[in-house]
Structure 1
Amino acid sequence: MKFDRKDRTDEELLAIHEALVTPRLIEDKMLILLRQGKISKWFSGIGQEAISVGAALALEKEEYILPMHRNLGVFTTRGVPFQRLFSQFQGKMNGFTKGRDRSFHFGTQDYNIVGMISHLGPQLGIADGIALSHLLRKEEKVSLVFTGDGGTSEGDFHEAVNVASVWKLPVIFVIENNGYGLSTPSREQFNFDSFVVKGPAYGMEAYSVEGNSILEVLNELEPLIEDIRKNPRPIIFEAKTFRMRGHEEASGTKYVPKELMEKWAKKDPVKGFESYLIKEGVCTNDQITDIRKGIQKEISDAVKEAFAEDAITANTETEEADVYFPYKQSVIEPKGKESEKRLVDAISDGLRQSLEKHDELIVMGQDIADYGGVFKITEGFMEQFGKERIRNTPLCEAAIVGTGLGLSIAGMKAVVEMQFADFVTEGFNQIVNNLAKIHYRWGQNADVVVRMPTGAGVGAGPFHSQSNEAWFFHTPGLKIVYPSNPHDAKGLLAAAIEDPNPYLYFEHKALYRSLSGNVPDAYYTTEVGKAVVNREGSDLSIITYGMGVHWANKLADESDASIEIVDLRTLLPWDKETVQQSVQKTGRVIVLHEDCMTGGIGGEIAAWISENCFESLDAPVMREASLDTPVPFAADLERNFLANSRLEATIKKALEY
């Protein structure tokens, strides 16, 4: 290995050594504790420390760094207290996740670290968002994110790198190329020798270094970072290295050829640098021993303190409260003049006024800038707010949702438009595992609204017509709103954007231009979590939302019975009190939605009514929904598919029971 000190003083070299040896000594301690059964699992970074430490040293402390599970050196170099790290590993309250996650699956704003989730790739898009915040604020900063060679096979890597290149984001993608993804060797992961070949394909620079030489990492990375701060752009930075332990300790290393282990053992980053320091006369072997002993004592003391901490006692109230960022909505009542607006115009109005109200709100989506979006929601926005805030995106839904989260981590707001709700599958992981869980895991809010043009009835077939709100209804940490009329559409969108928690905002395509209503011209918000009685009645309650409100009203107009219609408006959290009051009033209830019957939101609401309103019921709780098939294209097939084709019969059955 090459070590070039350049103009570094002896003191600087010793400081680098201390930073490098610290994670190794912690790992040594963790492996002892693992064998003693005192910790449950460990992902070792032994052999790769120079990359983590070098990256952390090369950055300013206020610049964000996004590590993975072999980057202990990032945390120690950033000065995270040992005791808090060991508390985290033990699942103690003094850790960073209140016992809710383990090892390095956490972040901390105190140290500008954003940790990973087990899916490996999603943090790459988050780094894009943080870098975008620097670009928009004209800050001379970079973000740096780690991935492994195996992780680059995921779509998240392609999407994040592509977006960063297109937008010229100041982000460094560090690829720790250690030769294996768990037991799968590189030759079975990708068909090239070095990740530098990826650079030209994305229109960006790529560099490869000897990752086991701390000085080579620093000497290459430091000038690049300084240059990127002045001339923002992304780079790929490959660090060639080797993992000397198993993927995690239980998996071992039997699949690695013995000669390969021996070859890399000679390139140990810690031992190699210590030998260099002794050879250079920077320090003696005895001094290195003393340095190690001092660090080991700190580690031992911190371990004892962490083990002495009380085990966490579960508190259900606390667990449920921490699912969302604490926020109490202050409803802004509508005032002043009203105008008749179509649903599409009300949504556009709410988004435009939110952009005016929140200077650091960024809207992202496919074709939303010059073109104004496929449904023209953002038509004229680029001219008013500029392309920096109204951002056309590549077809990279996962990276763009991740970018929204990165903007939130940097203190900004984001609205992401899915061109069709169906396409959200491409960003599903980011929504259900990052946006939804990040506050519960380590207290970070996700100030992101995902707009979802949804619904059938427009002859668009299986992939542009799905009602998929139930996919997310099951996920704690998300909020879901689904307006049925222009007034609520504007107010709920503004409310969702105000709230620092993650939202899915569903808007029915078939109602965009077919439905109009009076909407206040001024900015206002609608109460989230509060249903409304859309139509008073005494014989039967229909609990519904979205298009279901209009189906129910049509049949109520034609019926001799007195039918009450409850428009939920918010699906998560839904308004149990208003539903209960309506059921107690009428004694008969149908839960109606456009989504398929099986697994739909109606099943949960019907179960809750049966459990909590049983004594008020004069008939079984009934459901009506669309068929359990994909959404068909042909008009007659689609009519047969939709729930309203059977609603009249269900109403008759409920009234006659």
Structure 2
Amino acid sequence: MLSKKVKMHQLEYKDFQISNDKMLGLYKAMLKPRMIEEKMLILLRQGKISKWFSGIGQEAISVGVTTALNDDEYILPMHRNLGVFTTRDIPLYRLFAQWQGKASGFTNGRDRSFHFGTQEYKIVGMISHLGPQLGVADGIALAHKLKEEKKLTSVFTGEGGTSEGDFHEALNIASVWDLPVLFCIENNGYGLSTPTNEQYRCKDLADRGAGYGMESHIIDGNNILEVYSKVSEIVEGMRENPRPVLVEFKTFRMRGHEEASGTKYVPQELMDEWQEKDPISNFEDYLSETGVLAKDLQQEIRESITREIDENLEKAFSESAIDSDETKELDNVFQYFNYQEVKPSGKTENVRYIDAISQSLRSSMEKHENLVLMGQDIADYGGVFKITEGFIDQFGKERIRNTPICESAIVGTAMGLSINGMKAMVEMQFSDFVSSGFNPIVNYLAKVNYRWDQNADVVIRMPCGGGVGAGPFHSQTNEAWFTKVPGLKVVYPAFPFDAKGLLNTAFNDPNPVLFFEHKALYRSIRQDVPVDYYTLEFGKASRLREGKDVSIITYGAGVHWALETLDEMDFHKADLIDLRSLQPLDMDSICESVTKTGKVIILTEDSLFGSLASEIAAIISENCFESLDAPVMRVGSLETPIPFAENLEKQYLPRKRFREKLQYLIEY
């Protein structure tokens, strides 16, 4: 039927081409999350759930958007979007089990509330940092576009989240790349206790769309017919003409940020005003007045939902508390990787370190047709180090993608590509710049497999290191920022042969890998390297020199400093271990060497405090103490930022101090 123009309370329902059955379906879909929430608030007071973020009063947005999308299109909701989950028909006992930290939930008790995703229902849950999921939506949409699928991705944020840099970065990427992302802003008046007039000064957040050359709309977020009809029209166009669209839903948060915070900071007249605009009571009255919802049908619907809630609650409550299994917890940090060794052929050519990296990238692009390379200036220009020069001629600009300067959202985009079945590489122009993308690496990529069994098939290349006079912002070796984060693999080769084989493995591994490449080695180190494709296993160190007097443990440029120092000293009794892989770490090789020699010195280019060298020293002290004949020695750079001037940089780097401490250890 054509709905009549009827004004009920504060909401006006205009003429929409929506059938009675569809309107009843929308009503039921809104009522279910409302009734679940009302039950959860009771359970919260009873101490049966630990926390609750209420979406009461905002149901029309979640339900309207989800209903407008196809079931195979991804939605990235927030913690007030219960209606997204229920409209996608997730079994309620699984939601209830999730909120109680039980095994039938979606995170095996490892995360709470709506911090989960599920490929089965094409929902990708939030993390508390809010902003990164916007970039993830870009990646999912990019995968759809590359696969030539007529699908879009919808992502939610609040008006407070629009203050984050990730919001700008994600919208900018989506606009530049014409990605079919529906950016949904739930403008509900407050970010915790901070009102909108302290969050932004533009009249409407939709106005920001113009700054990105992006279509934008303002929709009454409490009017279910307006939400569903307008969003349906928008997304139908997005499927045929892929592009991003920004939608601001005007609504209000009727309860606290979470229940414990309350709403005392909200003027009562504002609460009363928005209470009159309640999306469910208004729509219920409208359906009753137009004869669509009879009293007995209304009662029947409520009773049916009540039974469904009670039955599923009983099922969830009857489930035992989750078992603690240390092995299972450790095993689930990474997705299982069945390493397949590909042995090198006999044919070799003498190449530079940088050439080996380029060869690996090219062969991995040929091997993995779903691999996308992203980074600043990597396309036509070939990257600042010319590693991808000529790649667009072979693979095209769709797979070799120049990015805006926005490390955070690009890492998020890589995560989204992985969620949608693709592989991604992100080149940090310099490893120093990773600080701008630190959050999604350590809080999204690293945790996602442990949280809800979704891997991050992402390689992040990290040109790093000093000795090239590049100063404090282009010379850091910052591997220790990441080796302590469970869920990340960290690789740091010193030779062309290792670089090629390990990078090939990184692209085969379904887990996030940070691949450190020392810039000073790019064009200074040559080696005979197999021409054909081959792999090397992570977590396997290389013994470069054999000796019984002292162990030298190092990696990266430190390997070459150690080799040169040993030759200068004409000392041939050292066991020299090149770690190659920092996470996983080859502790067996370390302990085997130290047990044999009784003396050990650990060399790192990093400053010592909190470095990987310090961690290795602790491992040796715990596991090899009875074999030690001398103190465990560490050598690293000065505890200063890395300077620019040549003499200052030489003083900063540990090469001279390494020789002095090695001599001391030999004579100890």
- Asked whether the 8 Å contact 1:195–1:206 carries over to 2, the reply is no
The equivalent of 1:359 in structure 2 is: 369
| Percent identity between the two aligned chains | 61
- The CA deviation string for residues 136-189 of structure 1, in whole angstroms up to 9 with x for no partner, is 011000000000000000000000000000000000100000011000000000
Matched, 1:493 2:494: no
Shift of 1:195: 1.4
The equivalent of 1:93 in structure 2 is: 103
User: Aligned AA for 1:617?
Assistant: L
- Asked whether the 8 Å contact 1:374–1:419 carries over to 2, the reply is yes
Instruction: Tell me, in whole angstroms, the C-alpha distance in 2 between the residues paired with 1:150 and 1:285.
Output: 40
Q: What secondary structure sits across from 1:565 in the alignment?
A: strand
- Asked whether the 8 Å contact 1:404–1:415 carries over to 2, the reply is yes
- The CA deviation string for residues 334-386 of structure 1, in whole angstroms up to 9 with x for no partner, is 11310011001000000000000000100000000000000011000011100
Matched, 1:420 2:423: no
Instruction: Tell me, in whole angstroms, the C-alpha distance in 2 between the residues paired with 1:528 and 1:77.
Output: 43
- The CA deviation string for residues 382-432 of structure 1, in whole angstroms up to 9 with x for no partner, is 111000000000001111000000000001000000000000011100000
Instruction: Tell me, in whole angstroms, the C-alpha distance in 1 between the residues paired with 2:179 and 2:575.
Output: 53
User: Aligned AA for 2:159?
Assistant: D
Report matched runs for 1:388-537 at 5 Å. Answer: 388-537=398-547
Equivalent of residue 32 in structure 2, options 18, 22, 29: 22
The equivalent of 1:647 in structure 2 is: 658
Instruction: Tell me, in whole angstroms, the C-alpha distance in 1 between the residues paired with 2:595 and 2:162.
Output: 56
Shift of 1:563: 1.3
User: Aligned AA for 1:387?
Assistant: K
Unaligned 5+ segments in structure 2 are 1-10
- Asked whether the 8 Å contact 2:179–2:244 carries over to 1, the reply is yes
User: Aligned AA for 1:648?
Assistant: R
The equivalent of 1:3 in structure 2 is: 13
Unaligned 5+ segments in structure 1 are none
Report matched runs for 1:46-85 at 5 Å. Answer: 46-85=56-95
The equivalent of 2:383 in structure 1 is: 373
The equivalent of 2:612 in structure 1 is: 601
Shift of 1:4: 3.4
Equivalent of residue 624 in structure 1, options 635, 649, 663: 635
Instruction: Tell me, in whole angstroms, the C-alpha distance in 1 between the residues paired with 2:664 and 2:192.
Output: 58
Q: What secondary structure sits across from 1:147 in the alignment?
A: strand
Q: What secondary structure sits across from 2:40 in the alignment?
A: helix
Instruction: Tell me, in whole angstroms, the C-alpha distance in 1 between the residues paired with 2:466 and 2:667.
Output: 30
Matched, 1:588 2:599: yes
Equivalent of residue 270 in structure 2, options 252, 255, 260: 260
Shift of 1:539: 1.1
User: Aligned AA for 1:376?
Assistant: K
Instruction: Tell me, in whole angstroms, the C-alpha distance in 2 between the residues paired with 1:88 and 1:219.
Output: 32
Instruction: Tell me, in whole angstroms, the C-alpha distance in 1 between the residues paired with 2:295 and 2:470.
Output: 74
The equivalent of 1:222 in structure 2 is: 232
Equivalent of residue 569 in structure 1, options 575, 580, 584: 580
Q: What secondary structure sits across from 2:502 in the alignment?
A: helix
Q: TM-score, normalised by structure 1?
A: 0.99
Instruction: Tell me, in whole angstroms, the C-alpha distance in 1 between the residues paired with 2:493 and 2:84.
Output: 45
Shift of 1:645: 2.0
Q: TM-score, normalised by structure 2?
A: 0.98
Shift of 1:560: 4.2
The equivalent of 1:146 in structure 2 is: 156
Report matched runs for 1:341-352 at 5 Å. Answer: 341-352=351-362
Instruction: Tell me, in whole angstroms, the C-alpha distance in 2 between the residues paired with 1:429 and 1:268.
Output: 37
When the two structures are aligned, how many residues end up with a matched partner?
657
Equivalent of residue 557 in structure 1, options 550, 567, 571: 567
Shift of 1:289: 2.0
Shift of 1:652: 1.1
Instruction: Tell me, in whole angstroms, the C-alpha distance in 2 between the residues paired with 1:619 and 1:6.
Output: 83
Shift of 1:281: 0.8
The equivalent of 1:251 in structure 2 is: 261
Equivalent of residue 648 in structure 2, options 618, 621, 637: 637
Instruction: Tell me, in whole angstroms, the C-alpha distance in 2 between the residues paired with 1:18 and 1:302.
Output: 18
User: Aligned AA for 1:422?
Assistant: D
Instruction: Tell me, in whole angstroms, the C-alpha distance in 2 between the residues paired with 1:629 and 1:343.
Output: 29
Q: What secondary structure sits across from 1:484 in the alignment?
A: coil
Shift of 1:51: 0.4
- Asked whether the 8 Å contact 2:16–2:225 carries over to 1, the reply is no
Instruction: Tell me, in whole angstroms, the C-alpha distance in 2 between the residues paired with 1:2 and 1:395.
Output: 44
- Asked whether the 8 Å contact 1:2–1:216 carries over to 2, the reply is no
Shift of 1:285: 2.8
The equivalent of 2:624 in structure 1 is: 613
Instruction: Tell me, in whole angstroms, the C-alpha distance in 2 between the residues paired with 1:332 and 1:478.
Output: 23
Shift of 1:5: 5.5
Shift of 1:7: 2.5
Shift of 1:193: 2.0
- The CA deviation string for residues 85-131 of structure 1, in whole angstroms up to 9 with x for no partner, is 00000000000000000000000000000000000111000000000
Report matched runs for 1:297-312 at 5 Å. Answer: 297-312=307-322
- The CA deviation string for residues 192-230 of structure 1, in whole angstroms up to 9 with x for no partner, is 221121111011111000000011001110011010000
User: Aligned AA for 1:566?
Assistant: I
